[in-house]
Structure 1
């Protein structure tokens, strides 16, 4: 059977897994080397491709195509619901102006990790604006958005902590968090490797987002990245912050990246203050320094999310 325009469109849409216009289908087919497979393309192949798809949708009850938008007209495959969901999520995020900023989500994360049994940590927001000015690109992906420390003071007695010190056992744990508003398949790798880059200094690093597309392909890719690089993933819940979810746990590192810690201390006064504070608290055996504010009341946090425009 000859390779035709409809087969070409099907192959491209399956490969790309997002809705495309006729022009985009044709350009993708060119990149994928599918045009040579056509037995005949005619003088106006893009118009021919468009006509074939429209006719198939109109006249074929078993058509595999559907039109998912009008201006511009984009087409997709009926049974690929995950890809369509990702497309709609992206359209929603880019098609409207968000009322809130990424940093408005920090209190959600800080409150969650302060209460969650896995973390029980105090956090500090790192403001990139206070960093030293360097050559363009030198400090790209150096700074995490939020850093955290777990103090074991409530978990162990004073004598046990002294024994830890004698035996050179470290009961303290440092965390790094990279915050995003949303993650989908198109943005995952960039965001993930940003977290890989700026979390090497900590025992555990996490990529965090409020909106994570519920797409099996996206989750599978997160799993592969987590297995390979060890950065965990957290999905925040703005309505019930304590129901925020660790989708993938970070792999704990036994040794810290001291070179990166030194660079962060030299570059950013917020990070230097964070280390000064935690060392002082460890020295006196109690948390007395000022860390990020947390909210432990569900109703209070819910009202915050409403007022900040996080919940509509």
Structure 2
């Protein structure tokens, strides 16, 4: 499911990073159980498509910097294969809990959401808590059996949440102390800014590994 979300993001010039929950410090008694998202999406507000590919517009980047504005947006993504009336509130508030630090919250469900009561409840919660909720409307056979499943996606938006103007840096500082993924996230962003162009996260990691060999 995470791989498919990341593949969909790349088609829209969005850049994705998977968060490895197994390496995160969850503390005692599940204190940090709902602290970390499944995927982080990076969007560049200063991106542009040119002949050489997707680049950062240097003029817009400098303007954003001079105004003290962030040239990027981070979306915290919670992924679910399916959702039911019995468990949707837990799924939803897990997304709310692990996205407080980000510009935007996204709850993505692979299977169709056909229950009208469930859809209305999710829409009400998404509107109240500013969480975007989408369904990819994939049946189980499509999800598990097809390599090019992105072609089968019929995206349905249940709710559209507003984006926050800034990041919660205190929250981010805490998460940086609990998982190296959040350290790597901002190293990745800094690398893109220094180079003046966006990198896929996998390409960034490959560059870092090469640099380690020569230092």
Q: TM-score range by the shorter chain?
A: 0.7 to 0.9
Which residue of structure 2 aligns with residue 110 of structure 1? 6
Check 1:241–1:284 CA distance in 2 against 1; reply closer, same or farther (3 A cut). Answer: farther
What's the TM-score once normalised by structure 2's chain length?
0.78
Check 1:291–1:249 CA distance in 2 against 1; reply closer, same or farther (3 A cut). Answer: farther
Segment drifting more, 232-241 vs 193-202: 232-241
Does the alignment pair 1:153 with 2:64? no
Give the distance between the partners of 1:203 and 1:176, measured in 2 at CA: 8
1:289 Cα deviation (Å)? 5.5
Check 1:207–1:114 CA distance in 2 against 1; reply closer, same or farther (3 A cut). Answer: same
2:26 and 2:33 in contact (8 A); partners too? no
1:281 and 1:289 in contact (8 A); partners too? no
Give the distance between the partners of 1:127 and 1:246, measured in 2 at CA: 27
Give the distance between the partners of 1:132 and 1:172, measured in 2 at CA: 27
Give the distance between the partners of 1:209 and 1:176, measured in 2 at CA: 14
Give the unaligned 5+ runs of structure 2. 50-55, 144-148, 204-215
Give the distance between the partners of 1:195 and 1:280, measured in 2 at CA: 28
Which residue of structure 2 aligns with residue 74 of structure 1? none
Give the distance between the partners of 1:107 and 1:264, measured in 2 at CA: 23
1:284 Cα deviation (Å)? 2.1
1:247 Cα deviation (Å)? 2.7
Give the distance between the partners of 1:229 and 1:280, measured in 2 at CA: 33
1:281 Cα deviation (Å)? 1.0
Which residue of structure 2 aligns with residue 124 of structure 1? 17
1:278 and 1:289 in contact (8 A); partners too? no
Does the alignment pair 1:279 with 2:190? yes
Give the distance between the partners of 1:149 and 1:193, measured in 2 at CA: 22
Which residue of structure 2 aligns with residue 307 of structure 1? none
Give the distance between the partners of 1:252 and 1:235, measured in 2 at CA: 19
User: Which of 97, 100, 113 is matched with 1:213 structurally?
Assistant: 113
User: Which of 174, 183, 196 is matched with 1:263 structurally?
Assistant: 174
1:241 Cα deviation (Å)? 4.8
How many residues are matched? 185
Give the unaligned 5+ runs of structure 1. 1-104, 293-312
Check 1:179–1:133 CA distance in 2 against 1; reply closer, same or farther (3 A cut). Answer: closer
Structure 2 counterpart SS, 1:183: coil
CA RMSD between the two structures: 2.0
